Amino acid sequence: MRKPVVVITGAGGEIGHGLIEQLAADGTRLIVTLDMAPLEVPLAKHVAREFTGSILDRSLLERIHSEFEVDMVFHLAALLSTRSEFSPVMAHEVNVEGTLNLLEFAQHEAESHGRPVTFLYPSSIAAYGMPSLDAKRTAGRVKEHEWTHPTTMYGCNKLYCEQLGEYYARHYKQLSAESIAGRVDFRAVRFPGLISAITVPSGGTSDYAPEMIHAAAKGEPYACFVRPDAQIPFMAMPDGVGALLKLAAAPRASLTQTTYNLGAFAPTADDVRREVLQAFPGAQMSFIVDTKRQGIIDSWPADVDDGAARKDWGFAPEFDFERAFRDYLIPTIRRRYDRNR
Ligand code: SER
């Protein structure tokens, strides 16, 4: 029997790294990837077929459609929040039109093989927009439907694409004679800032936390661009990848919503600095606040309520703040940079 195929866009990015390794270890699906750049060799060896190109290239998506029978998509490709503020039109193209292309791709796949395509979409804490610091302080752990007035292009893109996914899942071509909706089984998570020990992010606004840790491990000085009291939720990358896979495997009937908050710990930038200093006592870390990027962080909630994800599909992050540093970040990062010395 032919193995089912999973397509991963943005496969060479931070989430793609961990996801490809997990899917490969699992071994139940052939992995097909799409990324603008060729994958690093260790990743590429897990992949049945690697396409290098853009999610905006519909003919490339057509080619994948004609060659593979896809029953799952992880659509990870996106421009992050800081990057998107410098090129809002390009952000809209990649983040929104690109997602529309992938939803159409999934719809066509489902129509041609007759089974639903599970579509995993990483949305973001950027979908929120707290109007003031006071509101942020008093809001507590924010629920999915609260404060959804993002101030960034990226946040607007993510929030809209959550709705677009829901449209495909529930109302697609609702006026046509035969029922077509429901072929794309759309499932989204709103990730907090993700911290990986293997890769460093680029173009995000939550990047200060991973940048601080990686700089300290490399013995480089780091100036954090947000205030010491800046606070948003974060998560260790293995829990992020684990959550995507767990949501992908959840029975459809147990899901009461299409988009779920995820959280794990919600440190201030100063909490991160103190934890990093414990591991790397000589680290040189200062704060030189970029008021504009700080403004973006201030617009994101201090923490999120992820009760629905825990209840519906058993989301349970393995790493709290201390464990993330002690058992994952510090040992893995140490090994990584020691090897390079
Ligand atoms: N990490 C993302 C960013 O900073 C937020 O989801 O843009």
What is the rounded CA–CA span in Å between residue 322 and residue 316?
A: 16
Whole-prediction pTM: 0.97
What number of residues does the chain have?
A: 341
Q: Are residues 130 and 12 in the same domain?
A: yes
Q: What is the whole-number distance in angstroms between the Cα of residue 13 and the centre of ligand 1?
A: 13
Q: Are residues 145 and 179 in the same domain?
A: yes
Whether residue 80 has its Cβ less than 6 Å from ligand 1:
yes
- The per-residue pLDDT for 114 is 92
Q: What is the CATH number of the domain that holds 40?
A: 3.40.50.720
143 three-state secondary structure: coil
Q: Are residues 60 and 179 in the same domain?
A: yes
Whether residue 193 has its Cβ less than 6 Å from ligand 1:
yes
- The per-residue pLDDT for 182 is 75
- The per-residue pLDDT for 339 is 64
How far CA 215 is from CA of 12, 14, 336, in Å, comes to 22, 17, 13
- The per-residue pLDDT for 1 is 53
Ligand 1 atom 3 nearest Cα: 204
CA neighbor of 192 nearest in space, from 216, 174, 210, 169: 210
127 in a domain, yes or no? yes
CA neighbor of 134 nearest in space, from 309, 298, 322: 298
Full residue range of the structural domain in which residue 226 is found:
195-233+264-302+320-339
What is the rounded CA–CA span in Å between residue 280 and residue 286?
A: 14
309 in a domain, yes or no? no
What is the rounded CA–CA span in Å between residue 59 and residue 68?
A: 14
Q: Are residues 98 and 199 in the same domain?
A: no
Whether residue 283 has its Cβ less than 6 Å from ligand 1:
no
Q: Are residues 121 and 218 in the same domain?
A: no
Q: Are residues 61 and 176 in the same domain?
A: yes
228 in a domain, yes or no? yes
Q: What is the whole-number distance in angstroms between the Cα of residue 192 and the centre of ligand 1?
A: 7
- Crossing angle for the helix pair 208-218 and 330-340, to the nearest 10 degrees: 50
301 three-state secondary structure: coil
Ligand 1 atom 2 nearest Cα: 204
Q: Are residues 73 and 60 in the same domain?
A: yes
Q: What is the CATH number of the domain that holds 222?
A: 3.90.25
Of 206, 290, 294, the residue with max ligand 1 atoms within 8 A of its CB, to mutate for a pocket test, comes to 206
310 in a domain, yes or no? no
Residue 268 is given by DSSP the state B
Q: Cα torsion at 318, 321, 323, 326 (round to 10°)? A: 150
313 in a domain, yes or no? no
- The per-residue pLDDT for 180 is 81
Is 328 tagged catalytic?
A: no
Q: Low-confidence residues of the chain, pLDDT below 50?
A: none
Strand runs labelled E in 207-266: 222-224, 234-236, 259-261
How many separate domains does the chain show?
Answer: 2
- The per-residue pLDDT for 329 is 95
Question: Which is the closest atom of ligand 1 to the Cα of 82?
Answer: 7
Whether residue 124 has its Cβ less than 6 Å from ligand 1:
yes
Q: What is the whole-number distance in angstroms between the Cα of residue 341 and the centre of ligand 1?
A: 30
Q: Are residues 43 and 175 in the same domain?
A: yes
Q: Are residues 255 and 110 in the same domain?
A: yes
Strand partners, 192: none
Q: Choosing from 154, 168, 208, 260, which is the catalytic residue? A: 154
